[in-house]
Amino acid sequence: MKFVVFSDAHIGGKFNEETFIEGVKYINEIDADYYIFTGDLTDQGTVFEYELAKNKYLPMIKKPVLLIPGNHDVKNVGDLLWEEYIGPRYFVHIDKTRKVKILGLDSNEPDQNTGRMGPKAIERIYKEFEDLDDEWLKVLVFHHQTLPIKYTGRERSAVIDAGDAIKAIMDCNINLVLNGHRHISNVYKLTDGDIKTLIVNCGTISCKKTRYHEEYSITTVEFDEEKLHAKIEVLLLKDNTWVTKFDGDIVEHVIPDDFGELEATIIQIANTEISRGASFSTDIFTKGVQLINSIDCDLVVHNGDITNRSYVREFNMARNYLGLIKHDMIVVPGPKDSFPLGKDLYEEYFGPTESEYTNDKMKILGINSCILDEKIGRIGRNTCKSILENLHSKNKINIIAFHHNIIPLPRTKHDSELQDAGDVLSLIVNGKLNLVLTGAKNTSGCWQIDDTVFVNAGTLSSRSYNNRLGNSFNLIQVYRTKKGRYYKITEFFFDIGESKVIGEFHIYD
């Protein structure tokens, strides 16, 4: 079954009529099963623009289109005009014969560029998809992005609750997510296990606000009858050329029965937040370190927020406490280590803020992603380039570690990640780095995007954890299998004596 997806027409202010008409010509020609528009039909959400859209431009499309609004459509109380001129801001389309369900949601907040799914929309995702058999093709449509997109600057315009949205998408085994908003086309394959989700961002059909060299485009997504294989193509309207963005299976590689040889074991800790205050627990820290020391591993990675407020006494304490860990260790700073004197003290007590560790099995670069006195982080284009130049060892596991998360975490507001998360994610994934370790938000998580595994650590010893099971660290085991590498991530909730496998990924060479 085939989908035609188009987005961000911006009828009115920045509207390019020529490319809209060109795009509509193709939409009318392509024989597809579903035609979907992913928001920003108008530029300012005004009556004038809605009238133009309804009376002049939408009638040019001779196909039935499923539409949801974008942030521009809800400007100037345009959400009420959408209902008046276009119809409901949500839709659910069920095709029982073909076993396809498409849920369209409104991710906008009135008069704001940022989006929010909100608990009701998240609940709706579970209600529509959680108990639906995986034989069905499950499609979710909303305007804003959840994963950071290349060339789009700071990721402040993703949905604020993107972590919860991603969790719902993964929990419900949704096959296809369609978004607009960033005016650039992009495809990522996201998985936390057996089923891949294709996260598809559609470019703009007719908004003059384009990004870099991105051209006006429409996107087609085609699944085979068994829903095991997908092909995604983007039509660049100016050149009339088709570009294939994805052509592959959507079922993830099977976890092997025989793991093969254990290549590397890494213990990942973060957010020790060492201080004399009540939020740091010496007892919990000591208990965690005892367990860490009893595990055979190659390396411990500390993903930052070593101290609570970058005080001298905290760095002093931290050096003594972390000295109790008997394994080799690599450390990167977090924003709590980057208050005004933090960088100087960090270097005095822990050495350079950027570091490297190599053995015969892996190469790992520790990156300083912090900005002085800021919560948000940045890596920067030049550092990214040098990471890729430094991490290209064919036989070794190529790893980078920094503090700020790239993939939004559940139960947290998506606001303190990297300013340049879109560019960094694209470089990491296209550069085929094997493993990315981060440590933000005192919350654990792991995902696979394309061929890269991302793991975020919780907190080892701060009492402000975002997990009902308490303080934790991650054990990452990498096995060499017949076909590639198998990554097993186990989270140890050492204070209550429990552990749980939070991710298993088998990535073929």
User: Quick one: tokens of 413?
Assistant: 């507001």
Q: Which is nearer to Fe ion, 116 or 181 (CB)?
A: 181
Q: Which is nearer to Fe ion, 70 or 503 (CB)?
A: 70
Q: Which is nearer to Fe ion, 71 or 442 (CB)?
A: 71
d(CA 113, CA 154): 13
Closest CA to 334 of 358, 316, 307: 307
Q: Give the helix ranges, DSSP H, for 112-182.
A: 118-129, 162-171
Task: Establish if 8 lies at the interface with Fe ion (CB under 5 A).
Answer: yes
d(CA 249, CA 228): 6
Q: Which residues contact 394 (CB under 8 A, 6 or more apart)?
A: none
From the list 168-176, 177-185, 369-377, 498-506, the region that binds Fe ion by CB under 5 A is 177-185
334, 403 contact by CB (below 8 A): yes
**Least distance in Å: CB of 164 to Fe ion?**
20
Closest CA to 248 of 226, 231, 223: 231
Q: Per-residue x/- mask for Fe ion, residues 133 to 172, rule CB under 5 A?
A: ----------------------------------------
Q: Per-residue x/- mask for Fe ion, residues 402 to 431, rule CB under 5 A?
A: ------------------------------
d(CA 201, CA 152): 12
Q: Which is nearer to Fe ion, 181 or 480 (CB)?
A: 181
Q: Which is nearer to Fe ion, 145 or 426 (CB)?
A: 145
Task: Establish if 181 lies at the interface with Fe ion (CB under 5 A).
Answer: yes
Q: Which is nearer to Fe ion, 73 or 252 (CB)?
A: 73
**Least distance in Å: CB of 427 to Fe ion?**
24
Task: Establish if 70 lies at the interface with Fe ion (CB under 5 A).
Answer: yes
The residues that bridge with 501 in the sheet, in sequence order, are 490
**Least distance in Å: CB of 27 to Fe ion?**
18
Task: Establish if 182 lies at the interface with Fe ion (CB under 5 A).
Answer: no
Kindly identify the residues of this chain, within the stretch 27-66, that bind Fe ion according to CB under 5 A. Answer: 40
**Least distance in Å: CB of 86 to Fe ion?**
16
Please give the C-alpha separations between residue 441 and each of 223, 332, 366, 375, 447, in angstroms, as whole numbers.
37, 15, 19, 11, 16
User: Quick one: tokens of 399?
Assistant: 């790893």
Task: Establish if 245 lies at the interface with Fe ion (CB under 5 A).
Answer: no
Count of positions on this chain that bind Fe ion (CB under 5 A):
5
Task: Establish if 268 lies at the interface with Fe ion (CB under 5 A).
Answer: no
Element (H, E) at 178: strand 176-179
d(CA 224, CA 235): 20
Element (H, E) at 233: strand 229-236
**Least distance in Å: CB of 318 to Fe ion?**
43
The residues that bridge with 189 in the sheet, in sequence order, are 198
**Least distance in Å: CB of 143 to Fe ion?**
6
Task: Establish if 214 lies at the interface with Fe ion (CB under 5 A).
Answer: no
Length of the chain: 509
278, 504 contact by CB (below 8 A): no
Task: Establish if 19 lies at the interface with Fe ion (CB under 5 A).
Answer: no
Task: Establish if 71 lies at the interface with Fe ion (CB under 5 A).
Answer: yes
Footprint of Fe ion (CB under 5 A)? 8, 40, 70-71, 181
